[in-house]
Amino acid sequence: MAIEIFNRYEHKYLLDRETYEKVIPIIERHMELDAYNEGRKPYTIANIYYDTGDDYLIRHSLESPEYKEKLRLRSYGVPDKKSTVFLEIKKKYRGLVNKRRTMLKLDEAYDFVKTGDEPEPREYMNKQVMDEINHFLHVYDLKPKVYLAYDRIAYFEKDNPDLRISFDKNIRSRRYDVHLEDGDYGKKLLGGDMYLMEIKTAKAKPLWLTHMLSELGIKRVKFSKYGAEFKNMIKKRAARAAAL
């Protein structure tokens, strides 16, 4: 049975190229490169974010409430209709992130979200997570709203599997062709040579990591990929309306 459950804090930092190149050697003294970064190359993560017709979930999230939730469909690389993907429900309460996900085939995931009817149980699915997602789908009338992809390099610590650090670059999105199998193209979300660093842990950061952040003057930011994309879209709509 395929299930992944995460309960952790996710702290985010925006780094320019110069800072990124200072950070990497320090991290590599303490952590191992993810096996998916074969040949030290980034791997691509692609997502579809679901929301209501009036974008309630992202609008609520941007108000910084104590509790928020979202649903997304994730693939690693560009899938076809029979590829394995992950349907994820992600909740955040007072900064603590709970993520639950289950494997599905891409066509099963599309049908499930569209109809609200769970697919026939398979050994790679998790019934509990499927039921939670089913409830979510009946609370909100969801539609695929945005495609969002990025290239990731990630590290983990052998002696502390709780700690994970990732770097996302070339974040791109589109609000047309919102299908994972259509390819990983889109408009760049961050200008310039920027990286989004995420530190994910349920425990306190190790001393070497807190020292690195302090010595390099790296500050936490509030940043949501979907949130940033939504705000950019609203600005463009407002600009077009003003030009009429």
pLDDT tens for 177-231 read 999 999 999 999 987 799 999 999 998 999 999 999 999 999 999 999 999 999 9
Give the whole-angstrom CA distance, residue 214 versus residue 104: 42
**Residue 179: which CATH number?**
3.20.100.30
pTM, entire model: 0.94
Q: Cβ contacts of residue 3 below 8 Å, gap of 6+?
A: 100, 101, 102, 126, 128, 129
Q: What average pLDDT does the segment 124-136 reach?
A: 95
Which helix (H) or strand (E) segment holds residue 25: the answer is helix 17-28
- Round the average pLDDT of the chain to a whole number and report it: 94
Phi, psi angles (nearest 5°) of residue 238: -65, -40
Q: Which two tokens stand for residue 233?
A: 């879209």
Domain that residue 113 falls in: 3-243
Number of folded domains in the chain?
1
Q: What average pLDDT does the segment 121-148 reach?
A: 96
Per-residue confidence band for 2, with pLDDT thresholds at 50, 70 and 90: very low
- Match 């889109």 to its residue by tokens: 186
- Match 């609370």 to its residue by tokens: 139
pLDDT value at 157 more than 90: no
Question: Nearest-CA neighbor of 136 among 68, 48, 229, 38?
Answer: 68
User: So what's the pLDDT on residue 1?
Assistant: 40
Q: Which two tokens stand for residue 116?
A: 């609200």
